[in-house]
Amino acid sequence: MNKHKYLMIVLIITGFFLSACMALHIQIHEDTPPVSLTRTLRGYKTSQPLFHFQKEVWVYHIFGFPDLSLGTREGIPADQLLDQLLKQAAGPQQGIVQLKIKHEHTVWTLIASAVTLGLLVPTAVIVEGDVVNLEPLGSSSP
């Protein structure tokens, strides 16, 4: 009987951490490369994709609360995460199209959460897209 009670408590606590709401606060600065969720960037002529990038970063939260973020293991504050990853992926005169941002719990983040007894709850943030060269519309190329 006690085993069932213990198992039920563990399942309820696990369910709480699995269903906790997470927030991703995004700030973009002026020097951030232009991005688009589609294949086009307004005001630019784009080349064919040069390469596809994908980066997974874990954001740590105290007790799983979205407003109690500790940042990432790479040392990037949570509110600067997207800005930093986009700057790393694209160079000057480049932009990113087909941008996708996923914010999810994976098997590894759940294991890490269990190891820390729920004190630190990591969330995987996966950013991916295609890097393209940009030419402003209206400029003439030789």
Note the pTM of the prediction, 2 decimals: 0.71
Task: Say how far apart CA 142 and CA 133 lie, in whole Å.
Answer: 16
With beta carbons less than 8 A apart as the criterion, state whether 95 and 136 touch. Answer: no
Domain ranges within the chain, ordered by starting residue: 2-136
Task: Say how far apart CA 71 and CA 79 lie, in whole Å.
Answer: 8
Cα atoms in the 13 Å half-sphere on the side-chain side of 83: 13
**Residue 48: strand, helix, or coil:** coil
Q: Is the pLDDT of residue 92 over 80?
A: yes
Q: Tokens for 12?
A: 């309820």
pLDDT at 50: 94
Give Cα 59 distance to the centre of its chain: 8
Work out the average pLDDT over 125-136: 93
pLDDT at 129: 96
